[in-house]
Amino acid sequence: MKVAVISDIHGNRHAFEAVLEAIAVSDASELWCLGDLVGYGAEPDACVALASEHAAVCLAGNHDLAVTGEISFEEFSRGASLAAQWTREVIASEHLDFLAGLRPQGQEGPIGLYHASPRDPVWEYVLSALLAELCLDRQPSRVCLIGHSHVALSFVRREGELASGEPRREGVQLDIAGGEWLLNPGSVGQPRDGDPRASWLMLDLDGMTASFQRTDYDVAGAAAAIRAARLPDSLAERLEYGQ
């Protein structure tokens, strides 16, 4: 079975729809989402509706938890806090209920799923080999999927070796049949690796491979929606630069 893995949509309907179109013409049979359906972007209702329709598995991210009231807005930067407060004010009640039913971690067969990390499913950014090593010590599954950092990357620890890893670009395919792995699909709605295209991962559970994907989308349309909602202009500006 092949699974499309996504994370960090952040209310960016334009990016989400483009990725769903790419997945529809692929040979993925399921969609797994690692959280943060809302936050930063201006179309939370559309994104929650799309996730509820298409995702077989969906986690809660820290922004989702803020909108549902499980996390204080004070935990966020100014822009993130303003976007979360705005989202709570405008989101439809049925979509708020959907978010409230999500949790930041899960398990699908042999694969562990975490919004952030096995050590801290809500907040930890795994961006270094040292942190990956600590997470690999903690995780019960050999292969785990993580999001939160908005950077497509992988970390691996093979027997007798320390963890190593790096950001991953479009087209990279990894053999994950051996070793312990942390895989991050990157962000659909707000990539932070210098590539503005929506990022996602194709996971082949039969062949045990992971392939990193990028999809073009209407960045200008997503930015215009943010400005029309009178959210901080920086949230629109950064989309063009993949930051």
**Per-chain mean pLDDT for the chain:** 97
- What strands, in cross-sheet order, belong to the sheet with 180-185? 105-108, 111-114, 143-146, 180-185, 152-157, 164-167
Quote the pLDDT of residue 104: 98
Question: What domains are there in the chain, each with its CATH number?
Answer: 2-241 (3.60.21.10)
The predicted model gives 137-141 an average pLDDT of: 95
Q: Model confidence over 68-125: pLDDT tens digits?
A: 999 999 889 999 999 999 999 999 999 999 999 999 999 999 999 999 999 999 999 9
Q: What residues contact residue 153 under an 8 Å CB cut-off, 6+ apart? A: 127, 165, 166, 167, 168, 184, 186
How far apart are the C-alpha atoms of 13 and 186, rounded to whole Å? 16
The more confidently predicted of residues 64 and 77 is 64
DSSP string spanning 96-117?
HHHHHT--SEEEETTEEEESS-
Q: Model confidence over 194-214: pLDDT tens digits?
A: 999 999 999 999 999 999 999
Fill in the amino acid letter for 193: D
pTM above 0.75, yes or no: yes
The predicted model gives 155-160 an average pLDDT of: 96
